[in-house]
Amino acid sequence: MPDKDLTTLTIRRPDDWHLHLRDGNMLRAVLPETARHFGRAIIMPNLVPPVVTAEQASAYRDRIMAALPDGMQFEPLMTLYLTETTDPDDVRAAFENGIATAVKLYPAGATTNSASGVRDFEKVRSVLDTMAEIGMPLCVHGEVTDSNIDIFDREAVFIDKILKPLRKKVPDLKVVMEHVTTEDAVDYVRDNHKNLAATITTHHLIINRNHILAGGIKPHYYCLPVAKREAHRVALVQAAVSGDKRFFLGTDSAPHIDPNKLQTCGCAGIFTAPNTMSCLAEVFEAAGELKKLEAFASLNGPRFYGLPASEQTITLRKGDPLKYPTHIATEDGPVTVFDPGFDLHWHVEA
Ligand code: OTD
Ligand code: ZN
Ligand code: ZN
């Protein structure tokens, strides 16, 4: 059946290869939103203070599992926040003992809670060499932080100035370029087969910079990396729906309570966990590639990480416009759910 005539789609249970769950009240509120549809997620370590050591990752994992409602299944895949003082032996032990799945590189100051990130890449060289040796992936927030570089150019400059030299020095290191937002990044990943993949978020497949800035400023569309012009969004969609194994879903769902978004200097982050699968189905359907959704959301990620695809399935069924809340409540305040700007017709039966 041609994709355009499909009204139901059953796919392996998806995984989210880039997720912010936070801690405490926020964790309790947002975790079910992901666990409802997703089997596993790569958990970002940018708490305050960050999750740096194996011991901290293990404790955070325990807090996540304690926050999981009875009857729900979910496997958090933990990451370690790379700092200039990270101990390679601790990283090795965390990986070999199954405590951590990946290490996260934030250039210092690149995004929310990234002040402890890396300034001098030579200082983390021994950690990267260890990771290459044991096959542990490095997840990269790929933006330079130099205030002289235009914010819309920071990803493209990062590829040339940081990522290319780094991958030359440590060619055996598996690298995930996270939340790519540009055609430059898509081209780079596509042209460099070995040990390189990219995640793409739900929102970057849907919004461009006009959504943030035209007709009034929209804080709920503000995230980092910031959405780029439409041609870049189109390149991201083409990569996502292509079935190319190097591209997979990392929602970067990043909840903030509304008071922290809606202020003079509002936080970056878009909360897409509740409606991500319905949004993605619309994007893939519009591209005439609904059947490729499984590769993007459920197959390519585990393949890159060397994990089995899920044995479970979810079914997406097309129907009347989906009703979903504009906000979810947390004990700290409301969190606005991503508004794609169009009706969602795909209902998820998990
Ligand atoms: N981007 N917000 C956050 C993280 C991401 O770069 C990211 O991964 C966050 O709030 O933690 C955001 O806009
Ligand atoms: Zn990031
Ligand atoms: Zn993120």
CA trace torsion 239, 241, 243, 247 (10° rounding): 40
Instruction: For residue 1, count other CB atoms closer than 10 A to its CB.
Output: 7
Class of the 3-349 domain?
alpha beta
Pocket test for ligand 1, best of 252, 253, 257, 267 (most atoms within 8 A of CB): 252
pLDDT given for residue 344 in this prediction: 98
pLDDT given for residue 188 in this prediction: 98
- Catalytic site residue from 146, 252, 258, 320: 252
C-alpha distances (whole Å) from 259 to each of 180, 203, 223, 263, 304 are 28, 21, 16, 7, 38
Contact 16, 42 (CB under 8 A): yes
Ligand 1 contacts CB of residue 227 (under 6 A): no
Write out pLDDT tens, residues 126-148. Answer: 999 999 999 999 999 999 988 99
Cα(252) to ligand 3 centroid in Å equals: 4
Q: How many CA atoms lie less than 13 Å away from 117 in the CB half-sphere? A: 23
Buried/exposed 63-79: b ≥16 CB within 10 Å, e otherwise: ebeebbeeeeebbbbbb
Cα(338) to ligand 1 centroid in Å equals: 14
pLDDT given for residue 205 in this prediction: 99
> Rounded to an integer, what distance in angstroms lies between the CA atom of residue 131 and that of residue 175?
10
Closest-CA residue, ligand 1 atom 11, reads 112
Q: What global pTM score does this model have?
A: 0.97
Write out pLDDT tens, residues 274-303. Answer: 999 999 999 999 999 999 999 999 999 999
Percent of the chain with pLDDT over 70: 99
